[in-house]
Amino acid sequence: MNNFEHSLTYISDQYKLGNDYKEINSFSAMRFHYLLALKEVLNQKNKCLDSEKQKMILQLEKTFVKKIKGEYSPKTMNIKKIVRGLSHSVFKVEGNRAMATCFLVCKNDKYLYFLTNRHVVEHQRILNVVSADGKINLRGKVLIEEYPPKQDMAVIRCTKPSDDEYFTPITFGNVDKLIEGMDIYIFGNRSGLGLGLIKGMLSSFRGDNIMMNMTTEHGTSGSAILDEYGFVVGLNVGDLKEVPYAIHGRILKNYLKSLDIKFVENNNVEY
């Protein structure tokens, strides 16, 4: 499955969310349909030999691209709307020694794959992935693979339930274009009191890490660092000499690729 088809699958999954997410559903549904239409236009463009039909196809292509990049671009959403749907992507991690956060990066025919910190899970091979309301509680197997340079990352793999419409993989943002001073957010298990939002700022870069000006709390280890569109740009770890920091999104993507775990990304956003 190519990246285009992954994007269609992701948007289709968003469209299937419950009535509580009607506003997000409407946005995702229209974007999904325009992407489908664009896909068909591109298929016809490659097959068509008639010059007049080619002109019509080119016009349709321009129209659909304009819609996707304009009205139905992620820029038209805002973090308040996006947060309502994050409970389908971000989950609590619970175990004998764990109280943290993870987020869904991939689902395939058999499994769900969640990303979190290695320090959260390295002493236990089995733990629970729990939804914000507690209605979803999955047993997960910890997958720890060495990735040079050694980083605080791990994957939790859960068998996909027969009814998997609740689960929506999160999207990676334009991680190669991050800038100092941009707004960032954590949506995590704040001190074990439930999933909540924390706002901050990307203050600087240090090697493969993002240094942050924000308050992080016990339980938010393993949380996604989100941009203003709700896309992942990093993985919260903790403090480095009392400065909160996260692993850069570029490292996360390379780590998932090394495990052959597919993910959705959007490199068209600007910061």
Residue 102 CA to residue 114 CA, distance in Å, equals: 6
pTM: 0.74
Q: Which residue has the higher pLDDT, 54 or 209?
A: 209
- The mean pLDDT value for 55-61 works out to 82
- 223, HSE (Cβ side, Cα atoms, 13 Å): 34
Which helix (H) or strand (E) element contains residue 33?
helix 22-47
Contact 28, 14 (CB under 8 A): yes
- Before 169, cis peptide (omega within 30)? no
Please list, in sequence order, all residues whose beta carbon lies within 8 angstroms of the beta carbon of residue 49, skipping any fewer than 6 positions away: none
On average, the pLDDT of the chain sits at 81
Neighbours of 77 (CB within 10 A): 18
Q: Give me the residue label for tokens 């016809």.
A: 44
What are the E-state strand segments in 70-130?
A: 90-94, 99-107, 111-116, 126-130
Residue 82 CA to residue 77 CA, distance in Å, equals: 7
Q: pLDDT tens-digit profile of 112-158?
A: 999 999 888 887 777 889 888 888 889 888 887 766 667 899 999 99
Residue 14 CA to residue 24 CA, distance in Å, equals: 8
pLDDT surpassing 50 at residue 12: no
